Amino acid sequence: MAISPRDLRLLYQQSGGRCAFPACTKVLHVPSSAKDRAVALSEVAHIVGQSIDGPRGDYPMPLDERDRYENLVLLCEEHHHVVDAQPQTHTVERLRQMKYDHEALIADATRRAVEARVGASTGAVNVSEVLYSSLLPVERLPEYVFSVPCDYSEKDSRKVAEQIIRPSGGEITPFLLRAGRLLCFQDMSIRESPFKQLARGRTVSRQSALEYWNDVNLMRWYVDLLNRTLNKITGRRQLNLDKNHRRYFFEQAEDGRPREVTYVPLNQATATRQVVWQPITKKTGLPKKFWYHRAVALRFTRVSERAWCLSIRPEMRVTRDGKTPIDSDRIGSRVTKKKSRMFNYDVLQEIQFWRDYLFESRPRLIASFGSGQAVVVSSQLLSAQVTWPGVPPERAESFKNTAYEETLFDLADLERLDEAEVENELEMADEEG
């Protein structure tokens, strides 16, 4: 199989006529003169060898895919020789990253040059607008961590979980087994505690959240409890945890079938969106040999002494058949390339999807642990008013659904938390008095 003219055009256009090898500054042509024609100095290198016997040729890739643009990188003669003579140093993964970095650099340089030209010709001026982040403010966190001595080791989480009494009010029951103790956000000393079987006959210790935040080891435990809380919340929203990459993803609802969910997008009332699907080859109309699953990385971050945020980072999971994940080194460049084509509005659209889906189109997310203890996260994205050149007009979309309407039910949920917190504080003061 030979390289098609289409793939060659793509490679030369995306490479900008420059060698992709890092730090190489060679221009891959000699200009024409009055007497002679221009000379092309570029060489097309295969990332995975064109044949099985070629450099990196034993990498698992079908032979009929090796002459495609995705497996080609443009180099000068010197560096083509170097990468093929040192295949152990210049691996498939390294060459793929080299190709991506170089083409992204060319695209960015071209974009800036065009924007400067357009700005000079139109007399463009700075604009003032609101920029939205991927951070959501945390309005409330548990004030205390409760713990009791425990006979179980850290490997016995399943045995402990079997002894937890399922709360009737929708409470979440994350816990940790650390240093011979069971830690949780529930007050284990009260009669209706979900952990009462594990705490029976033992002295319950209570420490303030600030004590945990100001100690490096305890801080790690507190964040672990928050992450366990996220596991419970996302589980209720039918998401699975990818432990290796610390992200949550959609699974197929039915084997071999795509999956859609309904949500509120940036500028519409409602819409449906694919969250698990098998992409289609444009040329043939046939499905490709892999599946995409929308995924998200969620993380609590302390931004000041008492302030925290929840960050949302949209991700993508790729599987062979809707279940079996593909190794990261085989799909990393594919996902990275997909992300590289996303502009401001595209990224904001992804964040909006996850914000709306996780918060169920409500102004805040509440995870209650009883006795007024709760995690409360506002759905209002942190934002700032800035003056800057702005984005290209075709990408300058508005964002209408910035906030969700506060209902009486939402206010009642907060009021119940406040009342329970006050009642619990009074009870603890009586006990200490």
The predicted-structure confidence for 100-155, as pLDDT tens digits, reads as follows 989 988 988 888 888 777 666 665 567 778 888 999 999 999 999 999 999 999 99
Q: What phi and psi, each to the nearest 5 degrees, are found at residue 249?
A: -145, 160
In a domain, 48, yes or no: yes
Buried residues in 29-52 as b, exposed as e (16+ CB within 10 A): eeeeeeeeeeeeebbbbbbbbbee
pLDDT tens digits, one per residue of 268-301: 889 999 999 999 988 888 998 899 999 999 999 9
Q: Do 281 and 400 belong to one domain?
A: yes
Residue predicted with more confidence, 77 or 419 = 77
In a domain, 128, yes or no: no
Cβ pair 147, 182 in contact under 8 A: yes
CA atoms within 13 A on the CB side of 273: 20
Predicted pLDDT at 425: 64
How far is 370 from 144, CA to CA, in rounded Å? 12
Q: Do 304 and 375 belong to one domain?
A: yes
In a domain, 207, yes or no: yes
Q: Is the pTM here over 0.75, yes or no? A: no
Q: Do 254 and 398 belong to one domain?
A: yes
| Residue 339 pLDDT class (50, 70, 90 cuts) | low
- Which residue, among 186, 144, 133, has the nearest Cα to 164 in the 3D structure? 186
Question: Which of 65, 98, 122 is the last residue in one of the domains?
Answer: 122
Predicted pLDDT at 429: 57
Q: Do 150 and 249 belong to one domain?
A: yes
Q: Do 64 and 160 belong to one domain?
A: no
146 bridge partner residues:
184, 206
Q: Do 180 and 282 belong to one domain?
A: yes
How far is 87 from 94, CA to CA, in rounded Å? 10
| Structural domain harbouring 402 | 135-432
Q: Do 141 and 194 belong to one domain?
A: yes
- High-pLDDT (> 90) share of the chain, %: 57
- 389 secondary structure, DSSP code: -
In a domain, 127, yes or no: no
Compute the residue count for the chain: 433
Q: Do 158 and 280 belong to one domain?
A: yes
Token duo for residue 29: 């042509």
Predicted pLDDT at 124: 58
In a domain, 258, yes or no: yes
Of the listed ranges 316-325, 329-338, 411-420, the one predicted with least confidence: 329-338
Strand 181-184 to strand 144-149: parallel, antiparallel, or no bridges (unpaired)? antiparallel
Q: Do 25 and 54 belong to one domain?
A: yes
Question: Which of 79, 98, 122 is the last residue in one of the domains?
Answer: 122
In a domain, 129, yes or no: no
Q: Do 95 and 161 belong to one domain?
A: no
Token duo for residue 194: 């979900």
What's the structural domain count of the chain? 2
Give mean pLDDT, residues 235-264. Answer: 93
Task: Flag whether pLDDT at 330 surpasses 70.
Answer: no
Q: Do 240 and 356 belong to one domain?
A: yes
In a domain, 107, yes or no: yes
Q: Do 238 and 90 belong to one domain?
A: no
In a domain, 320, yes or no: yes
